[in-house]
């Protein structure tokens, strides 16, 4: 399904349907996981997963019946309520980079459920090889005129080198884990130069 979706995105950008094949075929960095968000206890905050963009091409997400996923829209957080029998599809940073910002990666977060409630989600991250470099596609004139360039958020720089982008995404989406286990990497990223 993810391959068909990526091919559809390529065609919608007026590219060959196999335009992305060279950067994900072979040894792609696809991942799938089951994520459990236990209800809040009295000592913890409400962070399930901090605000971030996924680092791959696309993310397909199966949610259970409990709310928690939110997307940033026009400066506000909007709930993405679960709908039985559907998947949430998030555009990732690699499509944003390849399309020069014509497509925008979805900024999203997960709020931990209330005490006594548990949330389960199953994301599938469709990505490229870690050693790949994302090309800048030549878009048709009408699409190129609407391309805003990749986001230039200094707190979330985008890298065409897939491996660097993946590391940055992991550090950003799990800030509590990053501070606890990878403080040295966070200091390196914060240093000028």
Chain segment 67-78, per-residue pLDDT in tens? 999 999 999 999
Question: Which of the 8 DSSP states describes residue 13?
Answer: T
Domains of the chain: 2-190 (2.60.120.330)
Give the Cβ contact number of residue 108 at 10 Å. Answer: 22
Residues in the chain where the model's pLDDT stays below 50:
190-193
DSSP run (H or E) holding 163: helix 162-173
Structure tokens given for 156: 């979330």
Q: Environment class of residue 183 by beta-carbon count within 10 Å: exposed (0-12), middle (13-18) or buried (19+)?
A: exposed
Concatenated DSSP letters of 171-190: HHH-HHHHHHH-HHHHHHHH
Q: Environment class of residue 186 by beta-carbon count within 10 Å: exposed (0-12), middle (13-18) or buried (19+)?
A: middle
Question: Going by C-beta distance under 8 Å and a sequence separation of 6 or more, which residues neighbour residue 101?
Answer: 147, 148, 149, 150, 151
pLDDT at 45: 60
Local structure of 95: helix, strand or coil: helix
Whether residue 94 contacts residue 160, with contact meaning beta carbons closer than 8 Å, is answered with: no
CA distances (Å), origin 32, targets 2, 13, 26 = 12, 27, 18
pLDDT at 7: 96
- Alpha carbons 17 and 162: distance in angstroms, whole number: 21
- Alpha carbons 187 and 178: distance in angstroms, whole number: 11
């Amino acid at each position: 399904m993810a391959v068909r979706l990526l091919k559809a995105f390529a065609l919608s950008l007026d590219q060959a349907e196999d335009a992305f094949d060279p950067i994900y075929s072979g040894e792609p960095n696809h991942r799938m996981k089951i994520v459990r968000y236990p209800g809040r206890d009295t000592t913890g905050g409400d962070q399930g997963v901090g605000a971030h963009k996924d680092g791959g091409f696309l993310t397909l997400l199966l949610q259970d019946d409990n709310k928690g996923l939110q997307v940033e829209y026009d400066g506000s957080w909007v709930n993405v309520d679960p709908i039985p029998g559907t998947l949430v599809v998030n555009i990732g940073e690699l499509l944003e980079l390849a399309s020069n910002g014509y497509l925008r990666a979805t900024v999203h977060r997960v709020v931990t459920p209330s005490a006594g409630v548990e949330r389960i989600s199953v994301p599938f991250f469709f990505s490229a090889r870690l050693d790949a470099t994302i090309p800048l596609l030549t878009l048709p004139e009408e699409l190129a005129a609407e391309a805003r360039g990749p986001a230039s958020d200094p707190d979330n720089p985008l890298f065409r080198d897939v491996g660097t982008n993946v590391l940055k995404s992991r550090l950003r989406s799990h800030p509590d884990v990053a501070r606890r286990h990878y403080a040295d990497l966070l200091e390196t990223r914060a240093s000028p130069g």
